[in-house]
Every structure is written in C-alpha cells, then in structure tokens.
A and B are shown apart, each in its own frame.
Chain A
Amino acid sequence: MTGPLLEVEALEVRYGAVSAVRHLSFDVGEGEIVGLIGPNGAGKTTTLLAIMGGVPVASGDLRLAGRSIRGRAPEEIARQGVALVPEGRRIYGELTVEENLRLGLAARPERSGAAAELEAAFELFPVVREFRRRPAGALSGGQQQQLAIARALVARPRVLLLDEPSLGLAPRIVDVVFDALAEIRRRGVTVLLVEQRAQRTIGFADRTYLMANGELRLVLEPDDAEDTDRLVAAYLS
C-alpha cells in the first residue's frame, strides 16, 4: 500500500472574514469511494472547489499522489487527473450532448483513445448516446446529470469529485445515478462524493466524513448508516 491518492491537510478557506472551511484533514485512498456529508453551509462544496483550484486556499495543503496541487490553476489540476461533476451540473445547454462530452476530453493528457473513452461513457449512460446530437439544454435534469458524470469520466480521471449528483432528481433517477457510481467504483475510479442523502451515502461509501460549520465532525463507516440518533446529533451540533 502506497500513500493515499488524495490528501487534504489542515485546509483553511476563507471568504473575506468568514471561515468557510477550518482545519480540515482527510484522505482518499486509490480505488476508494469516500463520502462527504453535512448540512447546508458545512463547507462541502468549498472543499471540492479548493481541491480543484476554484477558490484560494488560506492555509493547509492539498496533495495528489503525494504532490502538492495547492495554488494550481483549475485546468492544471484537471489535467493532472482530478475531475469535478459540479453542483447544478453546469452543462453547456447550447452545445450538443456530444460537444459537452468532447469538452470533457480537454483534460486528457494524451490525444489518442478519445473514441474509446466516449464509447465507455455511452455504455455507462445509454441515454447520453441516444441524445448525442441534441442540444444538452433539451435534456431532463436526470439526463443532464448523467451527461455531467459522463463528461467528467471521459477525461479518465484518477479522482472523481461529485457535488450533490442526486440534488433535485426523482427517486428513480437517483437510483440510476447511484448504480452508475457503483459501476464507476468497479472500474477502479477513486471517488469523493458530496451528498445531502446522508444515510444512502454512508451505506454506499467505504468511509464517510461528516462536516458542520466548516469542520470535520465525524468519520462514519457503512455500518453506521442506520445509526440515525448519532447522525441527527452530529447534524444539529
């Protein structure tokens, strides 16, 4: 066992005078799915954006495979193998589904093999293949979410960050998304999953961190999914 693939160490992020993330440390091992849960405003999205270089880090360090990525530009971090499925999907509605996917290829270091990556994404999300020629804005919310995950996957990332992929989706589509995540796990992609669906995430992930007020409060194992009293206490603390 070598060191963890993604390390967050004593991370501090501030928006002006407000501390959004305080002294946050955790790591994600190769091939693991790690959950990050917590109430609104806990600092989950800020943590993902800090990893991607999307917000400035006040102090602490972020390492990918042992090398610091703190202060790097988002495009550099993406090209080093970290892909983000952002909150709200951030699909390019005026571009076609296929053009959105081709944008995901921008982060791939090598030029060859793009067709194989697109095919693998189509296999995982047949609906994306079906509507590949349509404007992405014409897809339903669930279809757009599948496209957003497919777009991140075609970059063949070493670490996939997902920010609330089930937000606003019908229960049936949430199942589709979690089935896809299970398949992504089988393909060996390391995943950091931010979610509001606490119990489902705890049961699904190898390990789940609970954040509140910008700090890490609990580390939960899959067996803790049914421990609602502990969860509620942590959320309300």
Chain B
Amino acid sequence: MTTLVASFARDVVDLQVQIDAIGLGAIYALMAVGIGLVFGVLRLVNFAYGQLIMAGAFALALASEWDWPVWAGIVLCFAVVLALSVALEWLVFRPLRLQSPAVMLVATFAVAFLLQSIALLWFGPLGKPAASLVTLNRPVTVGSLEIRKVTIVAIVVAAICLVALVLLLERTSIGLHMRAASMDFTTARLLGVRANRVIASAVLISGVLAAIVAVMLTIQFPLVTPGFALQDTIVVLAGVVVGGMNRLFSATLGGFAIGYVSGLLGGALPTDQSQYLPSLLFGLVILVLLVRPAGVFTRGGGMVERV
C-alpha cells in the first residue's frame, strides 16, 4: 500500500502520466455530459449509453473491414449511433417518460443487454478489430514526453465540445428550454416549452457525444467486443454520481475527475496488478460518497433528498 501511495505521488508530478490522465478525463467528461444531459430532462440514468458507444465502435470496425476511408467510417459511426439514439427515444424513452425512474432505469438495462446480445450474435465474443484508425494511437515526441496523438485529439475535441455545449445552453432558445426543463419540466411545459423537442434535442446531443467517444475509444482500444465501453460507462456513471448528478456542470466535472484519477491510479499500479484498478477506484468512490453523498462538486453536500 505504501508503495502504491508513493507511486501515486510520483504520478502526480509526472507530466507524462498527467497528460494521459487528462486525456482519459476528457473522454469521460464527454460521456458524463451525454449521460447528464438525458438525466437532466428525463430524470433517467441511461445505462444503455455504453452500448451506443459499442455500436458506434462496431460501425468503425466494419468500415475498417470493408476498407472504407477513415472519414467514411466516422460518418457511419455517427449515423449508427444517432439512428440508435433516435430509435431509443421513440421506442423507449418517449412512451415511458411519465413512468417512475425505476421503470425507466430497468428499461435502459433491458436495452443495454439487448444491444449487447445482438452484438454477440452478429460479431461473436471475440469481436472485430478497427484497424484503420490505429495511426492516431501512435505517439509524437515533445521534448522528453511521448504523447499519443489521440490524447491530444481527445483533449482538444472535448474542450471544443464542452465550449459548444455551453454556448448552446446559454445562448440559444433550445438551450434555455433544456435548462428550464431540467429544473422544472412541468412549469416549462405550462410556459409552452415543447417537451418532445427538448427531450429529442438532449438525446441527439447525447448521441453525438457517444459517437465522438466511440471514435476516441476505438483509436485507443482497436479490438471492439460486445463488452466494449461497458466498464467505462459504469466508471463514468460512478463519476457522475460522485460529482453531483443534479447539475450538468458537477456531473461533467465528476466524469472528468474519475477519468483523471483512474489515469493516475493506472499509471501508479504495476502492470501485473492492473486488474486491481476497478477495485481501488470504486473503493475511492465509496469513501467519497460517505463524505459527500450529494456530490463533490455541488454546494452544501450534506443531506440528499430521497426520491
């Protein structure tokens, strides 16, 4: 344990590990925004978010198998994830919108396992490689640092996406309607805010972010299996709760923080002990929740209102 703490402390000052951790944090922040946006307007924890990413990753793998150019593979990835998001909204979220959160959560579990089973049937347990994007996983040398291109891309893309999202939420009518709906949907509807439009917008933006994450993760982990992004989604969900689920800002910070800490811990653990990373991470999550049950990045943070 002492060795691990010392190694973790070394990581904190090691620029190489820092950059990798920030890269992972950036991808998890995008996932947290995707999950947080839908939760904001629907009060629904979309457990199937990881399977949307998995579907996008398989689209990239298929495009790679068919020798499509990289840009065509990315277009296919976006088309598949957005089509699935729209289908999910029409077939599951919209009909169940007025049901209890438990009903909606179970429905997303069902969708998640359905999509995973379909992937298992179509592609088998070993999955498919997405080789065409692998060049982006190669490092570039900056001084004494070796930074993978995808890390730079992930940080830049996440920053652009987050700024664009803030502008959308702060400067546009649909953004204002989404913010109002996430605070008090009933009143928003009484004021004329179109519920279906707000929900569809949130689901679509969430889908766009899922597609972006699918591209980023596939570059880093080119072997796409039916379990692709499942663990990442669980970790991000924990991060969203740790950050503070009721606000998009705190949820996003939570997503970034858990990705960042995961990156640092991953760097600190010896390679032969990397299987302990999830245990360590979720142990930390439990500790943090015991101290700040309402979220690390929310104000107050004492009692949590039960629903």
Contact = CB atoms under 8 A, between A and B. Distances in A.
Contacts of B173: 102, 105-106
B180 interface: yes
A102 B188 CA distance: 12
Interface string A170-199: 000000000000000000000000000000
A75 B193 contact: yes
Contacts of B189: 73-75, 78
Nearest to B188: A103
B180 A92 contact: yes
Contacts of B187: 86, 90, 92
A103 B192 CA distance: 8
B186 interface: yes
B289 interface: no
B147 interface: no
Given A52-B190, A78-B192, A106-B194, 14 more contacts: A54-B186, A73-B189, A74-B186, A74-B189, A75-B194, A78-B189, A86-B190, A95-B179, A95-B180, A99-B176, A103-B188, A106-B177, A106-B191, A106-B192
A37 interface: no
A103 B180 CA distance: 8
Interface in A86-143: 86, 90, 92, 94-95, 99, 102-108
B190 A103 contact: no
Interface residues of B, number: 17
A52 B177 CA distance: 19
B177 A103 contact: yes
Nearest to A89: B187
The DSSP consensus for interface residues of chain B is: helix
A3 B176 CA distance: 38
The DSSP consensus for interface residues of chain A is: helix
A155 interface: yes
A103 B183 contact: no
Q: Which 10 A-B pairs have the closest CB atoms?
A: A107-B192, A78-B192, A106-B192, A74-B189, A90-B187, A106-B193, A75-B189, A74-B190, A75-B194, A79-B192
Contacts of A78: 189-192
9 contacts: A54-B190, A75-B194, A78-B190, A78-B192, A79-B192, A90-B190, A92-B183, A95-B179, A106-B192
Interface of A: 52, 54, 73-75, 78-79, 84, 86, 90, 92, 94-95, 99, 102-108, 151, 155
Interface string B170-181: 000100110110
Contacts of A103: 176-177, 180, 188, 191, 193
B186 A107 contact: no
B146 interface: no
A105 B173 CA distance: 9
A85 to B, nearest CB: 10
A104 B176 CA distance: 11
Contact of A104 (B186, B191, B194, B195): B191
A108 B173 CA distance: 13
A75 B185 CA distance: 11
A71 B254 CA distance: 41
B193 A92 contact: no
A155 B195 CA distance: 17
Nearest to B187: A90
Interface string B195-238: 10000000000000000000000000000000000000000000
Contacts of B192: 75, 78-79, 104, 106-108, 155
Contacts of B177: 103, 106
Nearest to B197: A75
B67 interface: no
A99 B173 CA distance: 10
A90 B190 CA distance: 10
Contacts of A79: 192
Given A92-B183, A92-B184, A103-B180, A73 B191 contact: no
A33 B266 CA distance: 69
B166 to A, nearest CB: 15
B200 to A, nearest CB: 14
A95 B175 CA distance: 12
Contacts of B191: 78, 103-104, 106-107, 151, 155
A86 B188 CA distance: 12
Nearest to B177: A106
B230 to A, nearest CB: 34
B109 to A, nearest CB: 29
Contacts of B190: 52, 54, 74-75, 78, 84, 86, 90
Contacts of A151: 191
